[in-house]
Chain A
């Protein structure tokens, strides 16, 4: 049962890991070829990495996609962090001031 559970958990994490692998390739092979582009901090690709780690493949991709749509030439840019994880909702509110 536990091995089955572990296998299931691994299977669930697989898409996220695949996406993170693609992001790694982008950040290490493609991105260095282009001048720094993103108007936000963290950059769009880093945002995607954090979002997928924090929220999983599905919601992480959704968040990263929305961020990419935000990163257009008419935005002033600035600091734009990935929203905190959903489950421990009460805890996250406390440390916003750092």
Chain B
């Protein structure tokens, strides 16, 4: 473990420093310096500091998912193109095009890997700090007599601090029959599994469009959800209680953050979005125009293709056009037959008041300059009609 500690040394010092700062803050407000509460809360404080540092990234992500709404029409075009194709090659091509679309618009709903990777050394460092408490307090720590501000005295205090009778550096495997350690470890593993399980289930149940819930990946994820407690149980028994506290607190924070995200910025086409629209409708707020869920793109099986019509020859049936135009920039409705667009919208899960309201404002907008823009309108269906065949 020597070389590993050497690599982690700077992070271990930082972790120890934050913990010691929190500890002295907590003792200064009257907590018992050698008590388990102060040391436990120091670990919680460590989580809070790290997650607060990451909040700007969280908000950046939320902003990006707002930007996602703007490229919803193009997104739907891609989804339509690969509708019903489940072979790996099409799936891959679809992911490629989607990612390319994000890049083109400079908005990306994903968080990126590096920040997550940077967090794991902190976790390992905490693990090492907690495991080093005992050698530190006994003066047998091989890399000196302190880790940053964590001196032998403080280490001894942390080492002897107990929460519900269990020391923070105790692990289930080395409990030696200490019933307190065993009970606290098991309780924390259960809490860890429960928070992860709940977070994950909330994500899949509420914040994914139905299309994403099919397929082998989703199936695997579902299985894993139930295998998870076992994995946690097997790894958790080797972790000191302090690490388990860190892990559980992080999970709780993620859960809250995700709850906020799902409530405020649900994924298009998901259950959470439907709920949000319902809430908004109840409050009487106007619904943004580009809310059409991604699943509405399915089309009736085409027999004969409907020929594009010149604007002035179109039947003034009225009801068809505004609904099609309701999807916004018209990329989705530009697909040849306006009729299919209308029927697709009728399939939408949100067929309640807000959607029917939206087109009205739009209709007045697009109906106004009918004559001047007729040439542009007449071109669009012709392009849209050609598209689906040659590509793919």
Contact = CB atoms under 8 A, between A and B. Distances in A.
A75 B112 contact: yes
B108 A76 contact: yes
Nearest to B258: A35
Interface in B100-126: 100, 102-104, 106-108, 110-117
A35 B212 CA distance: 13
B220 A39 contact: no
B96 interface: yes
| Of listed A29, A33, A37, A73, residue having the most chain B CB within 10 A | A73
Interface in B75-115: 95-96, 98-100, 102-104, 106-108, 110-115
A4 interface: no
Interface string A13-38: 00000000000000011001111111
B60 A73 contact: yes
Interface string B175-209: 00000000000000000000010001001000000
Contacts of A34: 116
Interface string A68-87: 11011101111100000000
A34 B204 CA distance: 11
B384 to A, nearest CB: 25
Contacts of A72: 112, 114-115
Given A29-B224, A73-B57, A73-B60, A78 B116 contact: no
Nearest to B225: A32
Given A33-B228, A37-B110, A73-B57, A78 B100 contact: yes
Nearest to B117: A68
Main secondary structure of the interface of A (DSSP, over half): loop
A13 to B, nearest CB: 25
A10 to B, nearest CB: 27
Given A76-B102, A79-B100, A32 B114 contact: no
A78 B117 CA distance: 20
Nearest to B217: A32
Contacts of A32: 220-221, 224
A33 B200 contact: yes
Contact of A76 (B61, B98, B106): B106
Interface string A55-69: 000000000000011
B231 interface: yes
B200 to A, nearest CB: 7
A44 B99 CA distance: 13
Nearest to A35: B203
A63 to B, nearest CB: 14
Given A73-B60, A76-B108, A77-B103, A68 B113 contact: yes
The B interface, classified by DSSP as helix, strand, loop or mixed, is helix
A55 B98 CA distance: 27
B78 to A, nearest CB: 13
B215 to A, nearest CB: 13
Contacts of B98: 41
A77 B110 contact: yes
Given A32-B220, A33-B196, A39 B108 contact: yes
B108 to A, nearest CB: 4
B219 to A, nearest CB: 11
B99 A40 contact: yes
B95 A41 contact: yes
B111 A37 contact: yes
Contact of B99 (A28, A29, A33, A78): A78
Contacts of B228: 33
A41 B111 contact: no
Which of A35, A36, A75 has the most chain B CB atoms closer than 10 A to its own CB?
A35
A93 B129 CA distance: 51
A62 B131 CA distance: 31
A14 B106 CA distance: 40
26 contacts: A28-B224, A29-B231, A32-B224, A33-B196, A33-B224, A37-B111, A39-B99, A39-B108, A39-B111, A40-B99, A41-B95, A43-B113, A44-B113, A73-B57, A73-B112, A73-B115, A75-B108, A76-B102, A76-B106, A77-B102, A77-B103, A77-B108, A78-B100, A78-B104, A79-B96, A79-B103
Interface of B: 57, 60-61, 95-96, 98-100, 102-104, 106-108, 110-117, 196, 200, 203, 220-221, 224, 228, 231
Give me the 5 closest cross-chain CB pairs, A-B, nearest first: A78-B103, A41-B99, A71-B113, A77-B108, A72-B114
